[in-house]
């Protein structure tokens, strides 16, 4: 499935109530674009072409307009990712406190460089910019959760709990 | 040592401090109750009189901003709470949202009332999921308690608040980028004027205020503008959350009076530098501020105007400390890479220039630099962010201040630690 929005394929939201609530919250439909994309990604795990078509219908614009928006934001994925997404902050305060070594450690242990996914689809590793948790550096976001002040031992233990 | 007593973070260590019942037990929402009996113009005047300046980075006087909202205009007015905290070195709004969401919400409702807004948004960065859930809970409590919705506290004032999650883009912290993003588009900053107060969200008058700025409002209403103004320097007064990170023993958020010395922040509050190492350089106000050398940092107070005199800025009050073990070229590359990644791509000098800086610095670090590179870095930064002449207030080669935000720090690294950059040049080239 390509993600360029050219297909007529549609996505069916599971949580139709939430879709209605989102659309009712804004004075202008198009403002519902990001929240609908967040919801779709939480259900579908990535933004497929079908998602783009459906969101475009809901907010009353062309799929290309939604795609233009999607392509701007780092948290919206246009391809399937691993079951668990490991995001290591690499900006200065984290970098000064061992973030680079954490990335190398995960790379060595699971054989994935930043941007790659393990063959079993368990982990995707990413280096990201400032997560806004500089006082507890280094910080790693795994899926939705922040894990602060990590060491190599701590991240090992943590990743064991993500199968 | 000052006698300052925390205002915004006074209760954050207490149990259940995030709940409505706790907030009410410490007098929460009484400021709102009083405000709802006031004339909105008087509320704006009180905030103007307090000299409260924005805590997000630009430091614009909040009351003055509110005053720009046109009075007689037949359009809805919007208040947006900027919770897109993304400036490297800054992590205070996250604390306020986790520990004192109702303090922030009360500030929002007061601000909304003052400008005549009935629909307000909290734009929170997408990564802050826990904080998003915390705000959802606070909002639900507020709706249940007649603090939001119809006829708030029995008045004829109605307000709805919607939480809107960002999706990973630093530039959405810039207020017009934020508004574009809220409208469902790329977060591309707009050309100003018109300023958002005249034409913002959906071309309607819009005020964008930072979480910490709004959190100050209930206290200004309750204790008065003159109390607020008595804390720290009169032109930029009040309590301030200073975030200290990097190479310090005790990093964290410390609330102090505006104007506290940077030396006290680093060596007292944050416990100094680990392993007895020496201080080397400091970002005083997030990574967009020019760095200070150790000597400069030990002799400066954290005050808007004083930092401008030192050719840097208070910004978001995100202090990043670098000690003698830090390689300044690597640190500069780290910051340049951040801006190259986050450049929204709209203006050519910024889009291309940030990428060139990363290429040049990477080449330098890998031993492929040439003596010309130093001048070239200055030329690129000048092309992105304008010649840095504070006396002339020279800005503006890009649509938004992102250009300056990359040019100033990168240039300051090279100016202040030129020897370290030269040391990376291959030896034969230095001799030549």
In a domain, B15, yes or no: no
In a domain, B412, yes or no: yes
Q: How many domains does chain B have?
A: 3
Nearest to A135 among B125, B167, B252 (CB): B252
Per CB-CB distance under 8 Å, the chain B contacts of A135 are 91, 243-245, 251-253
Give the domain CATH number at B397.
1.20.1440.230
Across the interface, whether the CB atoms of A93 and B245 are under 8 A apart is answered: yes
Provide the number of CB pairs (under 8 Å) joining chain A to chain B: 136
In a domain, B148, yes or no: yes
Residues B333 and B316 placed together within one structural domain of the fold: no
Which single residue is written with the structure tokens 């934020």?
A: B178
A147 half-sphere exposure, CB direction, 13 A CA radius: 21
Domains of chain A: 1-80 (1.10.10.1590), 84-160 (3.40.30.10)
Task: Output the CA–CA distances (angstroms, integers) from residue B154 to B146, B161, B259, in the order listed.
Answer: 8, 18, 41
Considering only residues A113 and B393, tell me which one the structure prediction assigns the higher pLDDT.
Answer: A113
pLDDT in tens, B260-277: 999 999 999 999 999 999
B430 half-sphere exposure, CB direction, 13 A CA radius: 11
In a domain, B144, yes or no: yes
Number of H-type helices and E-type strands within chain B: 19, 9
pLDDT band at B1 (very low <50, low <70, confident <90, very high): very low
Query: Best mutation site among B120, B126, B127, B188 for testing chain A: the one with the most A CBs within 10 Å?
Result: B127
Whether A147 has a pLDDT exceeding 50, the answer reads yes
Average pLDDT score, chain B = 95
Q: Are A70 and A37 in contact (CB under 8 A)?
A: yes
Give the domain CATH number at B281.
3.10.20.600
pLDDT recorded at residue A8: 82
In a domain, B64, yes or no: yes
Across the interface, whether the CB atoms of A75 and B253 are under 8 A apart is answered: no
Cβ of residue A17 closer than 8 Å to a chain B Cβ: no
A residues 98..127 contacting B (CB < 8 A) = none
Residues B37 and B170 placed together within one structural domain of the fold: yes
Nearest to B89 among A73, A90, A134 (CB): A134
Cβ of residue A91 closer than 8 Å to a chain B Cβ: yes
Domain finish residue from B323, B343, B359: B323
Residue B282 belongs to what H/E stretch? Answer: strand B279-283
B287 half-sphere exposure, CB direction, 13 A CA radius: 31
Residues B152 and B296 placed together within one structural domain of the fold: no
The ipTM, to two decimals, is: 0.95
Closest residue, chain A, to B253 (C-alpha): A135
Structural domain boundaries enclosing B275: 239-323
CA distance A137 to chain B (A): 8
Please give the average per-residue pLDDT across B243-251, as a whole number: 97
Cβ of residue A41 closer than 8 Å to a chain B Cβ: no
pLDDT in tens, A4-22: 444 589 999 999 999 999 9
Q: Of B205, B176, B170, nearest to B316 (Cα)?
A: B170
pLDDT recorded at residue B68: 96
pLDDT band at B397 (very low <50, low <70, confident <90, very high): confident
Residues B121 and B42 placed together within one structural domain of the fold: yes
In a domain, B194, yes or no: yes
Whether A2 has a pLDDT exceeding 50, the answer reads no
């Amino acid at each position: 499935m390509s993600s360029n929005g050219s297909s007529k394929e549609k996505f069916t939201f599971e949580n139709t109530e939430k879709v209605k609530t989102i659309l009712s919250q804004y004075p202008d439909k198009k403002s519902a674009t990001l929240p609908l994309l967040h919801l779709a990604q939480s259900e579908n795990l990535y933004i497929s072409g079908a998602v783009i078509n459906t969101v475009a219908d809901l907010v009353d614009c062309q799929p290309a307009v939604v795609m233009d928006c999607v392509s701007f934001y780092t948290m919206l994925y246009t391809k399937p990712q691993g079951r668990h997404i490991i995001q290591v902050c690499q900006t200065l305060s984290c970098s000064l406190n061992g973030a680079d070594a954490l990335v190398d450690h995960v790379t060595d242990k699971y054989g994935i460089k930043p941007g790659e996914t393990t063959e079993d689809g368990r982990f995707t590793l990413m280096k990201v910019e400032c997560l806004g948790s500089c006082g507890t550096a280094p910080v790693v976001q795994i899926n939705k959760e922040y894990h602060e002040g990590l060491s190599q031992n701590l991240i090992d233990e943590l990743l064991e709990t993500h199968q | 040592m000052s006698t300052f007593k925390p205002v915004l973070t006074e209760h954050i260590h207490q149990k259940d401090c995030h709940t409505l019942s706790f907030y009410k037990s410490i007098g929460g929402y009484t400021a709102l109750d009083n405000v709802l009996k006031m004339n909105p113009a008087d509320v704006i005047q009180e905030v103007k009189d307090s000299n409260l300046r924005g805590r997000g980075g630009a430091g614009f006087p909040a009351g003055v901003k509110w005053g720009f909202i046109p009075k007689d205009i037949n359009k809805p007015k919007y208040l947006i709470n900027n919770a897109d905290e993304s400036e490297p070195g800054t992590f205070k709004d996250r604390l306020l949202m986790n520990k004192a969401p109702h303090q922030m919400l009360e500030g929002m409702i007061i601000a909304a009332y003052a400008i005549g807004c009935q629909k307000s948004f909290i734009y929170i960065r997408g990564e802050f999921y826990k904080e998003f859930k915390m705000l959802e809970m606070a909002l639900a409590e507020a709706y249940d308690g007649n603090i939001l919705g119809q006829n708030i506290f029995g008045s004829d004032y109605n307000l709805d608040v919607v939480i809107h999650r960002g999706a990973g883009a630093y530039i959405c912290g810039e207020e017009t980028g934020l508004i574009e993003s809220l409208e469902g588009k790329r977060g591309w900053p707009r050309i100003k004027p018109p300023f958002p107060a005249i034409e913002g969200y959906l071309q309607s008058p819009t005020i964008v205020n930072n979480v910490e700025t709004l959190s100050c409002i209930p206290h200004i209403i309750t204790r008065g503008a003159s109390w607020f103004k008595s804390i720290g320097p009169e032109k930029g007064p009040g309590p301030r959350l200073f975030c200290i990170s990097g190479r310090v023993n005790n990093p964290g958020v410390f609330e102090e009076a505006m104007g506290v010395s940077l030396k006290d922040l680093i060596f007292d509050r944050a416990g100094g530098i680990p392993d007895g190492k020496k201080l080397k350089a400091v970002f005083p106000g997030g990574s967009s501020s020019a760095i200070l050398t150790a000597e400069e940092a030990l002799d400066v107070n954290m005050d808007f105007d004083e930092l401008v005199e030192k050719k840097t800025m208070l910004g978001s009050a995100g202090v990043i400390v670098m000690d003698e073990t830090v390689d300044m070229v690597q640190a500069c590359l780290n910051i340049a890479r951040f801006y190259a990644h986050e450049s929204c791509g709209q203006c050519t000098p910024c889009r291309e220039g940030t990428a060139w800086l990363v290429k040049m610095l990477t080449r330098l670090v890998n031993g492929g630099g040439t003596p010309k590179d130093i001048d070239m870095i200055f030329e690129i930064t000048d092309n992105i962010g304008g010649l840095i002449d504070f006396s002339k207030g020279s800005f503006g080669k890009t649509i938004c201040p992102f250009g300056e935000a990359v040019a100033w720090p990168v240039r300051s690294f090279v100016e202040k630690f030129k020897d370290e950059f030269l040391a990376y040049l291959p030896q034969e080239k230095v001799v030549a």
